[in-house]
Structures are given as C-alpha cells and as structure tokens.
Structure 1
Amino acid sequence: MKPPLFIASSVVGIIAGLDNYLYAYGMARLPVSTSALIIASQLAFTAGFAFLLVKQKFTSFSVNAVFLLSIGAAVLALHTNNDRPNGESNKEYVLGFLMTLAAAALYGFILPLVELTYKKGKQEISYALVMEYQMVMSLFATLFCTVGMLVNNDFKVIGREARDFELGEGRYYVIAVGSALIWQCFFLGVVGVIFCASSLLSGILISVLLPVTEVLAVIFYDEKFQAEKGVSLLLSLWGIISYFYGEIKQNNKKKMKQTPVTEMPQVDSNPC
C-alpha cells in the first residue's frame, strides 16, 4: 500500500471511529421508533454523497430502490413502544437525536469516500489491497474508540458487566469477541462490494439487513411477526430486485452497443 492510500484509509478509519461514537451515544438516548426512522435515512445520505463525490449515475430503477428501501426500513418504526429513558432531560433527548442523525449522515459519507479513495489512490486496486485497506481502516477506528474508552474509564466497567451478564461471565466474553469478528467480516464485505461494484450498492445491501434481521428475530427468538415486518420485508425485496433489474438492463444495453455490426460482403453484379 502506497502512502497516499495509507493516509486515506487511516483518515476514513478515524471518521468511522467517530461515527461509532455518535451511534452509540445517540441511540442510547432515543426510543426505538425515533432511532429506526433516523437510521433509515442512511441510504439517502449514501446516495446523495455518491452523486457528489463519485458522480454516481442514477436510473429510474436505482432511485426506486433507494426510495423503497428507505421506506421499508422506516416502516419498522411504526407502532413501536415509546421507550424514552426515564428521567432524561429534553436537552439530552435533542442531543441524542442530533447525534444519531449526524451518525447516519456520516456513515452515508464514508461509503462514497471509500470509493473515492479507490479511484484517487494512484495505484491499481486488487483484492489483497482491499483487505489491507480494511485492516488499516479498522485499526485506526479501534484506536480512536480505545482512546475514548480510556478517557471515560470504560474498561473498568467490563468486569462488572461480565459478572452481571445473565448468560454467564464466560459467554459474555465469547459474545464480545464473536461480535468483533463478525463486524470485521461485515466491514470487509462493505469495502469489497464497493471495490467490485459501487458505494450505492453497498448502502443498498446494508439497508436490506434491517428487515432481514427482524425476520430472523422471529425465527430464532420467537418474536411476533407483525404486519409492519411483512410490509418492510416486501418493500425491501422489491427495492433490491428493482436495483438489480435495472443493472442487468443497463449491462445488456452496453453489450449491444459494444457488439460490432458485421457487414455483408458486397457481390459484384458484373462477374465478367
């Protein structure tokens, strides 16, 4: 990895660490309905920044996909309980709202920024280089979060949380380590999709995760499958099918334009 790309990936990592802090702080002070609605706006931010940073071209199918997926995620916020923490002041509530909105916008900025660094990195991007990019980005994001935890003395609380964990102290650490590994695979997939396709597609696939997660919770945790979850899943599937249908249609048009037209050989009318 050349220095320009290393610097770019480290800056993206620091921004990602800041985004993690904003999400953690903001969502802890908001009810489920409000936070779900704000997070649903993330795809719209991704689409907007993709247009500004990497000149993403939109078709009617991609615009339809962004709209349907955003609405599908927002539908999950309907009829949820207003679980605003007791004793929380209006100032803290407003601050949580603004920080969650800033987190959604910032993550929508990160995805096109990664795509921009690929294009401006002054070196050929390969699969191995994408993995290096992910490693450097995650390293700086971890350093950023670690400094914040040290300043706030969060490491001293881990032992107490593990002892109070209902499933047992050992399982607490297993879940913590397992979650970290799964999130690393997730972020590797995110930067990989950007490498293979675009930041817009990466944002679309992330948005699909929300209704899918709700459905999996019904299967594995016996949660109620409410009408909102069914509508959200339907809209999300419709959105992603619309996107891929548009991409296939665009690729077929490009292939037809690139296929040379074979001219029939002219036959001499006077063979003599």
Structure 2
Amino acid sequence: MDSESSSVPTSKKNRKRWLHIFIYSFFVLSCQATATILGRLYYTNGGKSIWMGSLVQLIGFPVLVLFRFFSTIRKQPETTTTTTNTRSFRKLSSFTTIGSVYIGIGLLVSAICYLSSFGLLYLPVSTFSLIWASQLVFTAFFSYLLNSQKFTPFIVNSLVLLIISSILLVFNNESQTTKVSKGKYAIGFLCTVAASAGAGLLLSLVQLILRKVIKKNTFSVVIDMVFYQSMVATCAILAGLFASGEWKTLTGEMRSYKLGEVSYVMTLVFTAIAWQVYTIGLVGLIFESSSVFSNAITAVGLPIVPILAVIVFHDKMDGTKVISIILAIWGFISFGYQHYLDDKKLKNLEGIPDLPVSSLDKEDKQAWR
C-alpha cells in the first residue's frame, strides 16, 4: 500500500512536468518560426535597419519579470557557520563574478542578434533557417570542450549531415533570383554561420555557468540569468543604434513601409513578443531538462521555417535546397535518437523518473537530486 501511495504523487509530478515540457516546446517551435518570418517580413517590405532588426529580438525582456513573478521561487537556507564578514566577502565576490558573467554573455547575445539580422537581410528566410540549423553542430562542439559532451556515432552522424546540409547552400545560385548581389549573399551567409556558432557557444556556456559559477539550477536563477543578459544586450544594441545614426532614419522608414505605418509598428511589436515567448519556452526547457535538450527542440523547429517561407514569401525551392532540408531533418532525427538513448540509459542506471535529460557528466545528473 505504501509503495502504491508513494507512486501516485510521483506519477502525478511526472505528468505535470511533461505538460510543462510540452507547453514550453510549443512556445519554442511556434514562436521561433513566427519571429523569423516576421523578421524577414520587416526587411521585405522596406525595413532596412539592422540595429532595429536586432533590437526587436531583445527589447521585450521585461516580460520575463512577470514570468518570474508567477514562478515558484525556492530559496536555499544559508549556513550559520560562517561569520558576518565572511558572508559579506563571499556575497561581494559572487556579485562581481556573476555580474561579469552577465555582461560577457549579454555582449555575446547582442553580437548574435546583430549578425543574424545581417543574415536575415541578405538571405531568403528558408536559406537562413537551414544555415541557422548548424548551431547544433557548434553546440555539440562547444559542449565537448566545455561540458564533457561525448561524440557518439549518432551525434557524429547528425553533425556530418548538418554540415553537408549547410555546405550545399554555398553552391546555390539564389543570389541571382533574389535581387541580392553575390557579395551581399556571401556576407549574409558568413554572418549567419557566425551567429549560429555564437548561439551554439551561448547554450554551452549557459550550461557551464549554471553548473560551475552559479551552482544552482532553480527556475528563478535561470530567469535572472536570461533577464540580465538580455538587459545588457539591449543596452548594447541601443548604443549601436544611436551611435550609428540609424535612429534618425526610422521615421522615414516607417512612412515608406509598403504595408503602411500601422503594419510597420505591429510587425516590430509582434516580432518582439514572439521572441520573448520563445525565450520563455527556451528557459523553461533549460530548467526542466538541459540546454542541450532545449537546443534539440529548437533544431526540430527549423525545417518548419523553409516550408512557411515558400508559402509566405514564395521562396524558390530547388533540388539543392530540398536535399539540404532532407539532410537537416535526418540530422535532427539522429540527434534526437541519441538523446532518447541517453535518457533511457540514465533511467535504467540511476532510477531517475521519466524525464528528458541529456547525455552528460555526473554533475548534470546531480542537478536532478
């Protein structure tokens, strides 16, 4: 009777956690595609400001305050064995360290947003999303260096397929059909690859920071990290917007927008909202599972964008791009299957409940204790 009664709360807790994961995954998949499409819509209809295209990815970060307010905050009790001076010194040292981390991560985020805006300006959205899928390759590489991620045959297969998928797009002649010069197409391609590499590094750093620097894996901690790094990134983008003088052209840009001034404002507003809902989903997945799992869900949603791009923007879908999409999907499936094997192995070895976790070192496993 005792075992049966104890299993009921555990089963209920697992169902609740899976419901959260489903909701967060829906946020990531739907809002990632929506935000990318809206970002391209801005440029297609007369938007020209790269700084503005970067800003809308970040400026909605105050929404995270409300999200944190409705989350459960669990504070760990402080030990009473240390003196007041020792605790004060540790708090100051911790504040300095964490503040430096937030600033560094925030500047990295601003660079990623700026580079991705360049890519979205010069590339068809379908091509952009397929190149962006290479972040899975960079995440695996940086996780290998920073988080002891293992390269299994399925992971290697996934990385090879995604690399080939991106390389195929180099030989595509889309610059001739999209009224973009080969030089700008190349710039857009390189900027998107660089942004993808930055995104892979960011996700690996988040996992490392939570484990090594902050040493806490609570929901409030993850929200605080994303909030402060977004605030730093927003300040950096705003500084660039005013320093470049682009802010002076925004009024004229709004007036000449093909869909009208109201549509101009609504496009930017809904883009900002979509990116923040996407961020909330990403944060939720990082907390419920890991940064690697959140990246896997992000990657799964990327093939959705090329399909929508064909419908919305009538992007050309030639044989090269079709093969690239097929290889990318194959790579995602391979990566996801390895994730499934890791999850199953951990449950069998340590009796961890039926939760999605990634392949990883002992410190990652301890986060569930």
Q: Using a 3 Å threshold, how does the CA distance of structure 1 residues 53 and 80 change in structure 2: closer, same or farther?
A: same
Q: Classify the secondary structure of the residue corresponding to 1:245.
A: helix
Look up the match of 2:305. 213
Contact 1:75–1:232, Cα closer than 8 Å, also in 2:
yes
Contact 1:69–1:208, Cα closer than 8 Å, also in 2:
no
Q: Aligned-pair distance for 1:244?
A: 2.7
Q: Using a 3 Å threshold, how does the CA distance of structure 1 residues 225 and 41 change in structure 2: closer, same or farther?
A: closer
Structure 1: segments with no counterpart, 5+ residues? 260-272
CA RMSD, Structure 1 to Structure 2 (Å) = 3.5
1:257 correspondence with 2:343? no
Contact 2:138–2:196, Cα closer than 8 Å, also in 1:
yes
CA separation in 1, counterparts of 2:168 and 2:186? 22
Q: What is the aligned counterpart of 2:213 among 121, 131, 135?
A: 121
Look up the match of 1:58. 151
Q: Using a 3 Å threshold, how does the CA distance of structure 1 residues 25 and 244 change in structure 2: closer, same or farther?
A: closer
CA separation in 1, counterparts of 2:108 and 2:318? 37
CA separation in 1, counterparts of 2:275 and 2:208? 23
Look up the match of 2:195. 103
Look up the match of 2:175. 82
Q: Classify the secondary structure of the residue corresponding to 1:122.
A: coil
Contact 1:114–1:191, Cα closer than 8 Å, also in 2:
no
Q: Aligned-pair distance for 1:64?
A: 2.1
CA separation in 1, counterparts of 2:126 and 2:313? 20
Q: Aligned-pair distance for 1:49?
A: 0.9
- Where in structure 2 are the equivalents of 1:1-12 lying within 5 Å? 3=95, 4-12=97-105
Q: Deviations over 1:3-22 (max 9, x none)?
A: 24444233211111122233
Q: Using a 3 Å threshold, how does the CA distance of structure 1 residues 205 and 75 change in structure 2: closer, same or farther?
A: farther
Look up the match of 1:174. 266
Look up the match of 1:183. 275
Worse overlay, 23-32 or 133-142: 23-32
Q: What is the aligned counterpart of 2:334 among 232, 242, 247?
A: 242
CA separation in 1, counterparts of 2:201 and 2:122? 23
Contact 1:69–1:207, Cα closer than 8 Å, also in 2:
no
Percent identity (aligned): 34
CA separation in 2, counterparts of 1:25 and 1:81? 16
Aligned amino acid, residue 139 of structure 1 = M
Aligned amino acid, residue 239 of structure 2 = V
Contact 1:40–1:207, Cα closer than 8 Å, also in 2:
yes
Look up the match of 1:267. none
CA separation in 2, counterparts of 1:95 and 1:212? 24
Q: Deviations over 1:64-112 (max 9, x none)?
A: 22333343455556544225755x9x7x888776655443332221111
Contact 1:73–1:207, Cα closer than 8 Å, also in 2:
no
Contact 1:32–1:77, Cα closer than 8 Å, also in 2:
no
TM-score (norm 1): 0.76
Q: Classify the secondary structure of the residue corresponding to 2:175.
A: coil
Q: Using a 3 Å threshold, how does the CA distance of structure 1 residues 69 and 203 change in structure 2: closer, same or farther?
A: farther
Q: Aligned-pair distance for 1:120?
A: 1.9
CA separation in 1, counterparts of 2:345 and 2:311? 41
Contact 1:215–1:229, Cα closer than 8 Å, also in 2:
no
Aligned amino acid, residue 143 of structure 2 = A
Contact 1:134–1:188, Cα closer than 8 Å, also in 2:
no
Contact 2:119–2:191, Cα closer than 8 Å, also in 1:
yes
Q: Using a 3 Å threshold, how does the CA distance of structure 1 residues 29 and 175 change in structure 2: closer, same or farther?
A: closer
What is the count of residue pairs matched by the alignment? Answer: 256
Q: Using a 3 Å threshold, how does the CA distance of structure 1 residues 80 and 188 change in structure 2: closer, same or farther?
A: farther
Worse overlay, 140-149 or 232-241: 232-241
Look up the match of 1:135. 227
Structure 2: segments with no counterpart, 5+ residues? 1-74, 76-93, 352-369
Look up the match of 1:46. 139
Contact 1:211–1:229, Cα closer than 8 Å, also in 2:
no
Worse overlay, 56-65 or 217-226: 217-226
- Where in structure 2 are the equivalents of 1:22-33 lying within 5 Å? 22-25=115-118
1:152 correspondence with 2:215? no
Contact 1:115–1:198, Cα closer than 8 Å, also in 2:
yes
CA separation in 2, counterparts of 1:40 and 1:122? 29
CA separation in 1, counterparts of 2:108 and 2:315? 35
